[in-house]
Amino acid sequence: MKNKLIVILLLISPCFSAQEIDPDDSFTFEISLPNSISNTPYKMIMQGLIQTSATYQYTLKSGLSFGGGVHYSYFAINEFRVPSKVYGGIHTAAAYVKVGHEKFWTERFGTDFGVKMGYLQSFTVSDLLKSKGIPYNFVEGTYIEPTIGLVLTADVNCSYRLNIGYPIYGYGFTPWMIGIDSNIGYDPKEYSRPSSLFSVGFAYTYYFNGKKTAAED
């Protein structure tokens, strides 16, 4: 039994050999759970269900990185926080560029700090809007999201990461967006505040030509 264990360890040891991380171009797909943290009506009425993004990024030898991608989030109406039940939600799509810094501190661990900046469009749909003959409400604005990624490598081309983001949507949420014709008790000053979120999720990154084994040095 002991000899068999030694043989198994010898067979799998190459999978755990030292790897030097030297990232250049990569693709990252992220999925996370968003939570609104400002604009009180938005925070109370809307409930974040999903946020995703897809990013292509190129990292220089200095660690400075540039990229671009697309962002999507969906917030559902919390039917228990409005005077009468309203069903629907807000779809938000954005295109962005990203500037940041990516560095691997050990053979297995790295960080990716960045800021995404772009343009967004949001579409609000609800049964209340449709009953008034309005298929959807449309708003557009800026999109900014500082991000932090904690990266763990998996194999010679792949890594997984914990992503933390702070998306800021350049528009203020109002009850009228979902079809309610009153401020339902909220301070109107809140409506001018941008709709910001806090998101935590996981991501998968594929490095096209960014990783090599120690044996190749």
Residue 78: DSSP 8-state: -
Mention every residue, 6+ apart, whose C-beta is less than 8 A from residue 212.
Answer: 19, 20, 22, 156
**pLDDT, tens only, 130-145:** 999 999 999 999 999 9
**pLDDT, tens only, 96-115:** 999 999 999 988 899 999 99
Distance between CA atoms of residues 103 and 66, nearest Å: 13
Q: In order of start, what are the domains of the chain with their CATH numbers? A: 19-208 (2.40.160.20)
Which pLDDT score is estimated for 212? Answer: 54
Mean pLDDT of the chain: 86
pTM: 0.84
Name residue 94's amino acid: A
Which pLDDT score is estimated for 20? Answer: 56
Residue 177: DSSP 8-state: G
Confidence class of residue 14 from pLDDT cuts 50, 70 and 90?
very low
Distance between CA atoms of residues 189 and 6, nearest Å: 69
